[in-house]
């Protein structure tokens, strides 16, 4: 089973487990926990180390979830992740949970990566065009990656639309190697 498959299953279980009134705070809390897990090498070390007992790890994770303002059910969910040795999947679970929340709201996440900065007017125009194409509200996040050389890459769910020079060069390379 892939990491994303496991993360989706846990996110779906959490989504069903949390009462509807706490979904927003659960999403914010799990995003904060995932961010802390990604940014803190100390937290990763504690969670991965066999030196610390399950109770010690649980108390650290509980303190982090309380500090993040998570509902109590999310703390119990984190304990389950610890017992099943899945706490390392927390960032992926948070992303899958955000996707479920977006589906619930009828919203689509879109990631736009460009070689150069896109000005505010261009961002607004692109967001309006994407909303029109998808026929639903979109939440667009913009990123810069100079290694793309030129063009943009748009990621909608698992689909990637790539009009970058780097992408075209990679396609040409694959064709040359193949043929």
User: CATH assignment of 3-103?
Assistant: 1.10.520.20
User: What whole-number distance in Å separates Cα of residue 33 and Cα of residue 150?
Assistant: 35
Q: Residue 78 belongs to what H/E stretch?
A: helix 72-83
- 150 CB-near residues (< 8 Å, 6+ apart): 115, 116, 164, 165
Distance (Å, rounded) from C-alpha 10 to C-alpha 52?
24
Please tell me the distance from the alpha carbon of residue 111 to that of residue 140, in angstroms, as a whole number. 6
The confidence score (pLDDT) of residue 170 equals 87
Indicate the domain borders of the chain.
3-103, 107-178
**How far lies 143's CA from each of 10, 54, 110, 153, in Å?**
28, 38, 11, 10
Tell me what pLDDT residue 1 has.
Answer: 57
Determine phi and psi for 2, rounding to 5 degrees: -80, 165
Q: pLDDT per position in the chain (179 positions), as tens?
A: 577 788 889 888 888 888 777 788 888 888 888 888 888 888 888 888 888 888 888 888 888 888 877 788 887 888 888 888 888 888 888 888 888 888 888 888 888 999 888 899 989 998 999 888 888 888 888 999 888 888 899 988 778 888 888 888 888 898 888 86
Measure the CA angle with vertex 27, ends 22 and 28; round to 5°: 100
């Amino acid at each position: 089973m892939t990491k994303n498959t496991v993360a989706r299953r846990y996110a779906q279980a959490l989504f069903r487990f949390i009462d509807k009134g706490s979904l927003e705070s659960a999403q914010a809390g799990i995003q904060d926990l995932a961010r802390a897990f990604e940014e803190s090498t100390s937290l990763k070390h504690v969670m991965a180390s066999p030196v610390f007992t399950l109770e010690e790890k649980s108390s650290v994770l509980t303190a982090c979830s309380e500090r993040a303002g998570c509902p109590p059910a999310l703390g119990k969910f984190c304990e389950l992740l610890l017992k099943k040795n899945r706490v390392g999947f927390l960032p992926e679970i948070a992303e899958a949970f955000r996707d479920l929340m977006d589906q619930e709201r009828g919203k689509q996440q879109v990631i736009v990566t460009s070689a150069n900065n896109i000005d505010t007017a261009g961002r607004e125009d692109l967001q309006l065009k994407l909303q029109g194409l998808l026929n639903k509200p979109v939440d667009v996040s913009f990123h810069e990656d100079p290694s793309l050389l030129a063009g943009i890459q748009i990621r909608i769910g698992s689909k990637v639309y790539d009009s970058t020079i780097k992408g075209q060069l990679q396609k040409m390379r694959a064709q040359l190697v193949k043929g």
